[in-house]
Amino acid sequence: MSRHPDILNRYKAALIIVDMQEKFAPVILDYAQVEKNIITLVKACRILGVPIFYTEQYPKGLGRTTELLGVELSDLYSIEKMFFSAAGEKALQTALEENAVSQIMLVGIETHVCILQSALDFSCMGYNVHVLRNATSSRRPIDRDNALERLQQKGITVSTVESALFELTEVAGTENFKQISKLVK
């Protein structure tokens, strides 16, 4: 069956988690819920075989990925970055190419800085970018909301965790579907 190119495909997609770090946690709006949603995504991506990458912005000053999420990512290596845009990191560009990624699910913080710039840059590089609204945040609602509006105006897909997961799962009644359904309940 031919599918719309904006529907996520687990064989073309990757999850990129941006800067979910210790120093940000206390000041980010709804941080605990965003982290919980990202952990759900990580677990689902592992079930579906979707590659996962994560960045840390200047970890010397901002700390490492928070402990709860860090446990889920402990078998992966972080990509340290200085650019606000994750797209500027050569190690990440190489990893995406090696995994034949053409679709990116982008989550993390802050929506109006690193997520916004990463999404726009990845889109400019030819990737189909999906920013998952309930897995990203900023310190202030106006900054998050403005960034999500701006991204939609630029043709970036703004979606949700559950919507993305069922696009990746594609078919009901399979073992993958059952496992993913348990994660989102």
Q: Which of 114, 143, 145, 185 is catalytic?
A: 114
From the candidates 6, 19, 36, 60, give the one annotated as an active-site residue.
19
Given 43, 81, 124, 143, the catalytic residue: 81
Find out whether 35 and 69 touch, Cβ atoms under 8 Å.
Answer: yes
Active site (annotated) includes residue 81: yes
| 45 carries an active-site annotation | no
* Catalytic (active site) residue 43: no
- By annotation, the residues acting in catalysis are 19, 81, 114
